Structure 1
């Protein structure tokens, strides 16, 4: 596995992280109030840390990019660890809450990362997944200026996608590449964890959603 975000942390932070940080649409409500450590898988530069604190929880972050963690450490004094999402350095049942945001297009093993997230959850613990909508966002999608989307027939191509002409010249896709998990594969990956699915959300109020969120519980 390659830490493709190394060397891009400053660009990423300027483009995707606002100060003071605003909540991603509906994330705080989906997370709900809680306490104790919350594991943020793929925490990046700390984009979600404000929301974790607002919910009453404590931050524990993991990311595969040391460069991203360099900036994340300016936003939290909690433990931030360089680690692979499919091989988490925590004991079984370590967390009441685990979050994975905007990771499905970066992870080489999406199923494995969900299995690991489930493993480190305590019984009764909550998993929040929030990120790219498999149908309306991803390497197969073109965003048009009028708000419509053009879907290319590469939708069913799972895994890594080669750069395409419609990716643009200076976006995240062009800089780090992108993987794709079609909707059925995405949903079945959650079913295979054995978690109890509590809620699906398409956050935000734009006519065509670009994100899909899942809330699940370990019973």
Structure 2
């Protein structure tokens, strides 16, 4: 996994920036009930999405385990920011109306523990909103995705089936879903090759050094190496806590 304390300085610029964050925030809010008064953004990172979770009467909190990320988030979030572990959220049982986890679960082998913890802090009737099947969002029908696909790590930690199954064990039932575009995240062959060479796909691709070198060479031979392919489309799942 990436060192997010180090990654923080370049994170937003390499992850689609404001357009991508705005797209994510709008989709999250579409799944959060209008009556919700509190929302916790788990794994909030730099706060770029969190600060856009704006709605009259909605108080938003953010929590992240990276000091580098929260240092940047503190510049965006006036209050409600906590440095903490998403597996042990510093919130009481049943105290929140909504919890979001955007681009988080796919990183965590123990994603089930995070889902359980999010369920714990939700009040009855509250909603958990999370991105699921993140890697599938990148598997658009392109020459780049076809080369990467055979090396995808399966099963992913954030499949919709897994998240729903774990959620059901903690009183969460599916209540809706949404999709949004990951603006600026369409991968060019050159960018993909560079990321493979740096080990940037470590959490999503299973590659030994020989395979990595061969994949870099194959990506480098694709036409229009600097032209980004289609932007990914991400999926959000909403789970409601039983009353």
TM range (shorter): 0.7 to 0.9
Which residue number corresponds to residue 23 of structure 1? 23
Q: Which has the higher contact order (CA 8 A, sep 6+)?
A: 2
Structure 1: how far apart are the matches of 2:142 and 2:66?
31
Contact 1:26 1:204 in 2 (8 A): no
> Are 2:103 and 1:102 equivalent residues in the alignment?
yes
Structure 1: how far apart are the matches of 2:56 and 2:35?
6
Structure 1: how far apart are the matches of 2:73 and 2:103?
16
Q: How big is the shift at 1:95?
A: 0.6
Unaligned ranges ≥5, structure 2? 184-229
Which residue number corresponds to residue 154 of structure 2? 157
Which residue number corresponds to residue 8 of structure 1? 7
Structure 1: how far apart are the matches of 2:3 and 2:22?
26
Q: Which whole-Å deviations, capped at 9, do the CAs of 1:93-146 have from their partners, x for residues lacking one?
A: 121111111101222311000000000001111111125535344xxx587368
Structure 2: how far apart are the matches of 1:86 and 1:205?
27
Distance 1:22 1:155, change over 3 A: closer
Q: How big is the shift at 1:187?
A: 3.6
- Pairs within 5 Å for 1:1-219: 4-16=3-15, 17-18=17-18, 22-24=22-24, 26-54=27-55, 56-137=57-138, 144=142, 149=146, 152-155=149-152, 157-158=154-155, 180-204=157-181, 210-219=233-242
Contact 1:104 1:131 in 2 (8 A): yes
Distance 1:155 1:29, change over 3 A: same
Contact 2:100 2:128 in 1 (8 A): yes
TM-score, normalising length from structure 2? 0.67
Structure 2: how far apart are the matches of 1:156 and 1:10?
27
What is the aligned residue count? Answer: 194
More strand by share: 1
State the SS of the aligned residue for 1:54: coil
Aligned Cα RMSD in Å? Answer: 3.3
Contact 2:131 2:234 in 1 (8 A): yes
Q: How big is the shift at 1:150?
A: 5.2
Which residue number corresponds to residue 171 of structure 1? none
TM-score, normalising length from structure 1? 0.73
More helix by share: 2
Contact 2:4 2:68 in 1 (8 A): yes
Unaligned ranges ≥5, structure 1? 160-179
